[in-house]
Amino acid sequence: MDNLVEIDNMTFRRVDRVIYDGISLHVPKGKITAVMGPSGIGKTTLLKLIGGQLTPDAGDICFAGDSVVSMSRSQLYKARRRMSMLFQSGALFTDMSVFDNVAFPLREHTRLSEDVIATIVALKLQAVGLRGAASLMPSELSGGMARRAALARAIALDPDLIMYDEPFAGQDPISMGVLVKLIRELNDALDLTSIVVTHDVKEVLTIADYIYILADKRIIGEGTADQIRNSESELVQQFLKGEADGPVPFHYPANPLESSLFGGEQ
Q: How many residues bind other proteins (CB under 8 A)?
A: 21
Within 8 A by CB and 6+ apart from 20, the residues are: 10, 11, 12, 42, 45, 46, 56, 217, 218
Within 8 A by CB and 6+ apart from 231, the residues are: 221, 223, 237, 240
Question: Which stretch, 28-36, 102-110, 216-224, 230-238, contacts other proteins (CB under 8 A)?
Answer: 102-110
The residue count for the chain: 266
Which residue, 91 or 122, has its beta carbon nearer to other proteins? 91
Which residues of the chain form beta strands (DSSP E)? 3-14, 17-28, 32-36, 58-63, 66-67, 83-86, 161-165, 193-198, 210-215, 218-223
Query: Is the Cβ–Cβ distance between 43 and 35 less than 8 Å?
Result: yes
In the complex, minimum distance from the CB of residue 92 to other proteins, in angstroms, rounded to a whole number: 8
In the complex, minimum distance from the CB of residue 154 to other proteins, in angstroms, rounded to a whole number: 9
Which residue, 50 or 201, has its beta carbon nearer to other proteins? 50
Which residue, 171 or 238, has its beta carbon nearer to other proteins? 171
Which residue, 51 or 221, has its beta carbon nearer to other proteins? 51
Q: Is 109 in the site for other proteins (CB under 8 A)?
A: yes
In the complex, minimum distance from the CB of residue 77 to other proteins, in angstroms, rounded to a whole number: 4
Touching other proteins, residues 71-100 (CB under 8 A): 77-78, 80-81, 83-85, 87-89, 91-94
Task: Return the number of other C-beta atoms located less than 10 Å from residue 209's C-beta.
Answer: 14
Among 30, 38, 105, 143, binds other proteins (CB under 8 A): 105
Interatomic CA distance for residues 140 and 137, integer angstroms: 5
Touching other proteins, residues 14-73 (CB under 8 A): 48, 51, 53
Interface ranges with other proteins (CB under 8 A): 48, 51, 53, 77-78, 80-81, 83-85, 87-89, 91-94, 104-105, 108-109
